[in-house]
């Protein structure tokens, strides 16, 4: 069973992601900001992080940068979510190593397709 950490300051968006992923048997944990997410990562290992960009206290980009500096965490795939579709932000994320980027609003199908691709899962095997 894949373990997914959903990091977003919006409880509504965390619920939307949880519901979208409920078609699979994922172990899903949630955090409301980057600081709480790093605490979760100290306590447990994850196969995927779905990370909002704009959050209070520690935004998603700052958290991603922190992940890249920690040997045991930098290999965890990250899907960056954002309402920002500013070309400069997208380029900044890509140049920093973000490989998976999804802009809000997104469809359930877009999210599922991205998660399945990142986790190398065949939809028919779940």
Summarize pLDDT for 67-89 with one digit per residue, the tens: 999 999 999 999 998 887 778 88
Q: Which residues contact 45 (CB under 8 A, 6 or more apart)?
A: 3
Residue-level pLDDT at 122: 58
Handedness of CA 53, 91, 21, 29 (dihedral sign): negative
Report the CATH architecture of 3-125.
3-Layer(aba) Sandwich (3.40)
Domain boundaries, the chain: 3-125
Give the pLDDT mean for 1-28.
94
């Amino acid at each position: 069973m894949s373990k997914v950490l959903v990091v977003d300051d919006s409880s509504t968006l965390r619920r939307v992601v949880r519901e979208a992923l409920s078609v699979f048997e994922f172990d899903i944990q949630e955090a409301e900001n980057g600081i709480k997410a790093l605490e979760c990562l100290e306590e447990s290992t994850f196969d995927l992080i779905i990370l909002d960009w704009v959050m209070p206290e520690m935004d998603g980009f700052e958290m991603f940068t922190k992940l890249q500096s920690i040997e045991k965490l930098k290999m965890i795939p990250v899907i960056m979510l954002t309402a920002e579709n500013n070309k400069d932000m997208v380029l900044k994320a890509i140049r920093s190593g973000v490989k998976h980027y999804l802009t809000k609003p997104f469809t359930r199908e877009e999210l599922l397709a991205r998660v399945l691709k990142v986790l190398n899962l065949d939809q028919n095997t779940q």
